[in-house]
Amino acid sequence: MKHEHGSAGFEAQPERYQKIEKLNHESFLMHEPSPLRVVQSLHSVGAPRDVITDGYNDEYPSDVVEQAKAIGRHIVVGNVSPLNGYGPRDMSGEEKVADAQHNIHEFLARNNVDPSTVRMLRPERDYTTPLRAVNVDEDNLQPDDTGLLRPDTAGDFLYTYNKDNVLAARPADCPIVFLSAETPKGDMTVLLHLAWQGVAHGYIAQAKSQLDALGVDWTTLRAQITPGGHGETFKFENFNKYNPLDQFPESSSMFTDVKANQAADGAASYDFGIDLAAEVYEKLVETWSVDPYQLFLDTSDTTSPTVGYSSHSRSFKEYEGAGGENSRDLVMAIPSLD
- The predicted pLDDT at position 316 comes to 78
- Domain membership of residue 25 (yes or no) is no
Query: Is 263 domain-assigned?
Result: no
Domain count, the chain: 1
User: Residue 21: in which H helix or E strand, if any?
Assistant: helix 14-25
Residue 183 domain flag: yes
pLDDT tens column, 255-286: 999 999 988 888 999 999 999 999 999 999 99
Distance in angstroms (rounded) separating the CA atoms of residues 170 and 80: 8
| Residue 181: CATH number of its domain | 3.60.140.10
Give the burial class of 107: count Cβ atoms within 10 A of its Cβ; 0-12 exposed, 13-18 middle, 19 or more buried: buried
Low-confidence ranges of the chain (pLDDT < 50): 1-13
pLDDT value at residue 9:
36
Strand partners, 40: 331
pLDDT of residue 11: 44
Alpha-helical segments (H) within 33-175? 49-52, 62-71, 93-110
Residue 117 lies in a domain: yes
Q: Decide if 15 is inside a domain.
A: no
Residue-level pLDDT at 323: 63
Residue 210 lies inside a defined structural domain of this protein: yes
Of 151, 147, 124, the C-alpha closest to 137 is 151
Which residue segment(s) compose the domain that 279 sits in?
32-234+275-335
Closest CA relative to residue 29, chosen from 224, 191, 220, 166: 224
**Sign, Cα dihedral of 125, 131, 135, 140:** negative
- Domain membership of residue 17 (yes or no) is no
* Sign of the torsion angle spanned by Cα atoms 15, 18, 20, 26: negative
The answer to whether residue 16 is domain-embedded is: no
DSSP H or E stretch at residue 53: none
Contact 8, 299 (CB under 8 A): no
Output the pLDDT for position 90.
86
Question: What DSSP assignment string belongs to 60-71?
Answer: S-HHHHHHHHHH
- Please return the burial class of 70, using the count of CB atoms within 10 Å of its CB with bins 0-12, 13-18 and 19+: exposed
Digit-coded pLDDT (tens) for 67-110? 999 999 999 999 999 988 898 888 999 999 999 999 999 999 99
